[in-house]
């Protein structure tokens, strides 16, 4: 049976862009404006404070990992009151070595590895909406190790660098998301997969995308009545089941069309449509252009 989380990450098409070392000492604070792209950080030693817009303030300590799939504005600081320095994340990508904030020289109060990457998929907004806005994981050494690998690979110019970074970021995302206590996550895919009743239905949708699913059939796989399943799915995942299925079919269809390896009839069959005309109508309504035009416009 397919793994929905792995499929979502594969369709997001993540690739690494930039990573760096960060340290802070004494009175310091930096403010990053809304960035929009995914970012991550791992605390190597010491502690600091992280205040992400719309989220409770966190105290980060050694061994902590943070992932922001869409990176809203946030402030990173020590524990003394300070007016934070405003930072342009993209402008710092040209910096070399570790970036130091606050008191120069001496042992820092905190050392971190951080960075950002991009999702190449045009469906990124849909996929990201299924993930938590902030992922905070404590004490998972594998995540710190993966971030260090990203850092090392970013700073080198070895053969195969881009492919290695892509695979490392995919691993980083999967490890971070599956280490998250999903039962307390906001509505989305993680919370749905953590629900023992809903998870089989979600996996069935992903494993058998071509099947003409009905709410009643999915409710049966969840051992719930039709109405109870509909309400629980909508509340937990954040979308009604048939809307989730349609969005997923269209995301898969876009990926197939961008590769331009299959005829439209074959793409239609792959995502559960009995004819190219039915698929074209649904795709055009959902995406705003026909499958053929979408494929021709894809880079």
CA angle 78, 132, 287 (to 5 degrees): 130
Do 166 and 211 fall into the same domain? no
Do 48 and 134 fall into the same domain? yes
Do 176 and 286 fall into the same domain? no
Residue 260 sits in a domain whose CATH number is: 1.10.10.60
pLDDT band at 288 (very low <50, low <70, confident <90, very high): very high
Question: Is 261 or 155 the better-scoring residue by pLDDT?
Answer: 261
Distance CA 110, CA 98 (A): 12
Last residue in a domain, options 138, 156, 180: 180
pLDDT of residue 92: 57
pLDDT of residue 156: 77
Q: How large is the average pLDDT for residues 284-291? A: 94
pLDDT of residue 2: 66
- The pLDDT tens digits of the residues spanning 146-169 come to 888 888 887 777 888 888 888 888
Domain ranges, residue 202:
189-297
Phi-psi region of 36 (alpha: psi -120 to 50; beta: other; left: phi over 0): left
- The pLDDT tens digits of the residues spanning 265-280 come to 999 999 999 999 999 9
Do 40 and 98 fall into the same domain? yes
Q: How many domains does the chain have?
A: 2
Do 81 and 14 fall into the same domain? yes
- The pLDDT tens digits of the residues spanning 206-255 come to 989 999 999 999 999 999 999 999 999 999 999 999 999 999 999 899 98
Do 122 and 44 fall into the same domain? yes
Q: Is a pLDDT exceeding 60 seen at residue 1?
A: no
Q: CB count, 10 Å around CB of 68?
A: 23
pLDDT of residue 170: 87
- The pLDDT tens digits of the residues spanning 191-218 come to 898 889 999 999 999 989 999 999 999 9
Last residue in a domain, options 150, 180, 210: 180
Do 67 and 134 fall into the same domain? yes
Last residue in a domain, options 180, 207, 228: 180
Question: Is 11 or 203 the better-scoring residue by pLDDT?
Answer: 203
- The pLDDT tens digits of the residues spanning 87-122 come to 876 665 555 578 899 998 889 999 998 888 888 887
Output the CA torsion 14→123→31→132 (10° steps).
-90
Mean pLDDT of the chain: 88
Q: Is a pLDDT exceeding 70 seen at residue 289?
A: yes
Q: Is a pLDDT exceeding 90 seen at residue 126?
A: no
Residue 116 sits in a domain whose CATH number is: 2.60.120.280
pLDDT of residue 77: 96
Do 92 and 155 fall into the same domain? yes
pLDDT of residue 101: 94
184, 155, 176, 166: which is closest to 64 by C-alpha?
A: 176
For residue 285, give every residue at least 6 positions away whose Cβ sits within 8 Å of its Cβ, in sequence order, or none: none
pTM, two decimals, is 0.79
């Amino acid at each position: 049976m397919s793994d929905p989380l792995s499929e979502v990450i594969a369709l997001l098409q993540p690739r690494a862009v930039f990573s760096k070392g960060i340290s802070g000492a004494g009175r310091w604070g930096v403010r990053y404006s809304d960035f929009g792209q995914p970012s991550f950080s791992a605390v190597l030693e010491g502690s600091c404070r992280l205040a992400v817009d719309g989220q409770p303030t966190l105290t980060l300590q050694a061994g902590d990992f943070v992932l922001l799939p869409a990176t809203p504005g946030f402030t990173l600081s020590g524990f003394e009151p300070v007016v934070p320095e405003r930072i342009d994340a993209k402008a710092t990508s040209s910096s070399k070595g570790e970036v130091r904030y606050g008191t120069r020289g001496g042992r820092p109060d905190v050392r971190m590895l951080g960075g950002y990457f991009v999702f190449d998929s045009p469906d990124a907004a849909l996929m990201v909406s299924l993930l938590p806005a902030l992922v905070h994981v404590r004490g998972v050494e594998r995540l710190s190790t993966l971030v260090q690998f990203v850092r090392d690979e970013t700073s080198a110019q070895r053969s195969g660098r881009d492919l290695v970074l892509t695979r490392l970021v995919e691993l980083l995302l999967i490890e971070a998301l599956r280490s998250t206590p999903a039962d307390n996550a906001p509505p989305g895919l993680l919370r749905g997969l953590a629900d023992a009743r809903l998870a089989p239905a979600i996996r069935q949708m992903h494993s058998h995308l071509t099947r003409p699913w009905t709410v009643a059939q999915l409710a049966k796989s969840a051992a719930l009545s039709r109405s109870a399943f509909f309400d629980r799915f909508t509340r937990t995942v954040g979308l009604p089941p048939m809307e989730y299925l349609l969005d997923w079919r269209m995301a898969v269809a876009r990926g197939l069309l961008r590769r331009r390896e299959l005829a439209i009839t074959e793409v239609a069959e792959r995502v559960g449509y009995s004819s190219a005309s039915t698929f074209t109508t649904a795709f055009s309504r959902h995406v705003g252009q026909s499958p053929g035009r979408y494929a021709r416009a894809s880079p």
